[in-house]
Amino acid sequence: MATDNIMMLGASAGGLEALQKVVGGLPEDFQAALFVVLHLSPHSRSVLPTLLERAGRLPASHPIDGEEIRAGHIYVAPPDHHLLVERGRVRTSRGPKENRFRPAVDPLFRSAAYAYGPRAVGVILTGALDDGTAGLWAVKDRGGVAVIQDPKEAMFPSMPQSAQAYVDIDYCLPLAEIAPLLVRLSSEPAAEERGAYPFLEQLEIETRISMQDKAFEAGVFKLGKPSPFTCPECHGTLLQLKNGNLLRFRCHTGHAFSANSLLAEVTESVEDTLWSTLRAIEESVLLMRHMAEHLREADDVDTAERFLQKAQEAQQRTELVRKAVLRHETLSRETIGEKTRHG
């Protein structure tokens, strides 16, 4: 049976158990369609639909692009695909990654907010960093309902904490109370459309980008002003966006980042660069020593000594790089906050 009740669960680290608990509390006659995004490896086959079916009473599947939305069904994001909705239909796409993930929570929530407005209910569960915050902000801005798992009981509280910091949350609940809330909301009339939505054009553009529309043609440059930062995925210029107090970035090819996920990605790439530098210097040391040995065999002792001297100088530089890479940290709001609390 078709439905306009669109309910969404987004989770990351620690999310499987949380999803199973919520799904396990939903009745067989649940009067809404449920959409689930869990951060997954793009290279492995997902058995999440099977696990969610076993946990509860509702059928679950990876949907086919364009499939009709039905009440009482769980639609699970396939690996390496965003899960999206348009009016009456499920969409899957390999649009640009958001917050370093595909599937990501933000594109699903944003597409539902655009298509269904007050009929959309977004729920953020346990997870690291802050995927889902921008999407939940859009759900709330369009008159939908914003729900988070109580961070105090979340295995990884960062995702619900971030949503709580930037979104006017309607319900902050322990896992055991989320399913009963969804059942109640599915039987209640949605809020009325409010009229003017100042971020509606931005919402449309970002939804089109997630649907694999070309970012240029979708109007990406209308989203914000160029920033001094470059995209870690494609090295294009990042545009700076702001929704309320939430700072975000999107590049001209479509990749999107929160400020927090951008920091984590950039500092992680610094470590990769340091390791590559260390490898390159050590290779040069080995090559110079090999050449010195070859020159000695050819009785060119003076040149061989100069090669060995340069190799020794390079070896000393490797120690500096090694110390830098071992002291390097992948940073985020959470790691910095943790260090602040512990001095």
Phi, psi of 150 (to 5 degrees): -55, 115
Q: Are 241 and 110 in contact (CB under 8 A)?
A: no
The two three-digit tokens of residue 228, written as one number: 């001094």
Q: Are 113 and 10 in contact (CB under 8 A)?
A: no
- Active site (annotated) includes residue 12: yes
The two three-digit tokens of residue 273, written as one number: 């660069």
Catalytic entry in 82, 131, 141, 210: 131
Q: Which stretches within the chain are classed as H helix?
A: 15-24, 48-55, 105-116, 133-141, 158-166, 175-186, 200-210, 215-218, 259-297, 301-327, 333-341
Amino acid at 243: N
Q: Are 138 and 197 in contact (CB under 8 A)?
A: no
Q: Are 17 and 155 in contact (CB under 8 A)?
A: yes
- Active site (annotated) includes residue 131: yes
| Ramachandran assignment for 219, one of left (phi > 0), alpha (psi -120 to 50 degrees), beta (any other) | left
Give the pairing of strands 82-86 and 89-93.
antiparallel
- Active site (annotated) includes residue 168: no
Catalytic entry in 39, 73, 82, 255: 39
Phi, psi of 290 (to 5 degrees): -65, -45
Closest CA to 141 of 85, 227, 69, 203: 203
Q: Are 82 and 94 in contact (CB under 8 A)?
A: yes
Phi, psi of 232 (to 5 degrees): -65, -20
- Active site (catalytic) residues: 12, 39, 131
